[in-house]
Structure 1
């Protein structure tokens, strides 16, 4: 649904994706925020790693003599098999993919980009990353998680240059804030490959890893929440969810564990013994989510820190409120009986 802006444009809150911009007879897809992760996942290779990214610019008007003040900015990205462009204007966000650089650098939605008079108004490369650190799919997760599609376009405060800078900085630098262990109860002496050991990653990669490891399997037991008081009056929080034969834990601000042995999750963290077991601090609440994917999506989409840190992986106030509400309901039902 279009939303009129004082800038004179109608921003659609949608993404336009052209997967084969170098082929005639093919077209693009219009994608909403709700469709973003699922629909794009079916159209791209989730493992396409960004090797480098460059910021480009071109003039807004054909009569310009220079790019100095009035210009449009967009990104060109190189992966193993494709060239990509990504940009934002007053209509939408556009992603194009092609085997040929020219099809995304020199074209926008199958039309030639604007150039002006003389060499100073050609399409120009401004800066380039030394290397890439994330995949295209992780970048899409970041867009979804930070609600990029629903953020308005504004010619001064949220324009193409701001968008290009945001995406460029995300590709250029990131912090591995999340620790993920897909087999926390399997150690080296179990002849398990090193790849199953826990390691740190971005929150956007963690979304994909959880999904890969069976995050869509439905929970079979109620959510268990654990609290542990640490020195200096700090508190440690952990939640434990169970699917058929598998347990998941999210805790603190950084750690996600998966195991078939529940006791390992209660007694170990990052494959090291805890100073105190969590067993004595158990609190059971009703389901908030149906599966681990939904848990991850809830915290990723609702957390407020734009760097992607799980500041409140378990919000103890929310959990306590749900638990107390559940107890009050249980007491009322007992009285009614």
Structure 2
């Protein structure tokens, strides 16, 4: 898989967005540059939104992703056919409602919805990133039926 890193410098005052397309860049970017070893995860939430703006409901077809809350940041992690994306911001709206600074898909019957949420008291962001690295989620092939965004979000939610 090609190693690519995306860093949104325009959003640096409020956070950063990264698309990590290889295990190598995931490890280098996060472990050595952006993580505080003591940054505890306070809450994990499972969000969904429709895949298309013309879609009537979200019964089977929907995109799923995870939002983490720490004392200092909001983080999102999600998987699609382009790879695994991790975003970070001081404002929840920038990771919950946007993907690469573009508004997430919504329609007249459904939009962005938090499906479940739980408090966390024993995981750090560093442990979370190491889990993604060690489980090799970044290099897993994406599939519409298997290894899709919903299954990825479930794995992350269950770990945290």
- Regarding TM over 0.5, the answer is yes
Which residue of the partner structure matches residue 80 of structure 2? Answer: 89
Judge conservation of contact 2:65–2:76 (CA < 8 Å) in 1: yes
Judge conservation of contact 1:19–1:43 (CA < 8 Å) in 2: no
Which residue of the partner structure matches residue 33 of structure 1? Answer: 23
C-alpha displacement of 1:15: 6.9
Matched, 1:70 2:70: no
Distance 1:22 1:39 in 2: 15
C-alpha displacement of 1:48: 1.2
TM-score of the superposed pair, with normalisation by structure 2: 0.87
Distance 1:91 1:110 in 2: 16
Matched, 1:51 2:66: no
SS at match of 1:51: strand
Judge conservation of contact 1:14–1:93 (CA < 8 Å) in 2: no
Judge conservation of contact 2:27–2:133 (CA < 8 Å) in 1: yes
Which residue of the partner structure matches residue 122 of structure 1? Answer: 111
Distance 2:125 2:118 in 1: 15
C-alpha displacement of 1:170: 0.2
Query: Which sections of structure 2, spanning at least 5 residues, go unmatched?
Result: none
- Of the two, which has the highest radius of gyration? 1
C-alpha displacement of 1:147: 1.4
Query: Which sections of structure 1, spanning at least 5 residues, go unmatched?
Result: 3-12, 172-337
Matched, 1:160 2:149: yes
Distance 2:148 2:19 in 1: 23
TM-score of the superposed pair, with normalisation by structure 1: 0.43
Which residue of the partner structure matches residue 102 of structure 1? Answer: 93
Residues 264-279 of structure 1 aligned to structure 2 (within 5 Å): none
Distance 2:74 2:91 in 1: 6
C-alpha displacement of 1:106: 0.5
Which residue of the partner structure matches residue 334 of structure 1? Answer: none
C-alpha displacement of 1:35: 3.3
Which structure carries more relative contact order (alpha carbon 8 Å, separation 6+)?
A: 2
Distance 1:22 1:122 in 2: 27
CA RMSD of aligned residues (A): 2.5
Judge conservation of contact 1:20–1:27 (CA < 8 Å) in 2: no
C-alpha displacement of 1:22: 7.1
Between 1:103-112 and 1:66-75, the stretch displaced more is 66-75
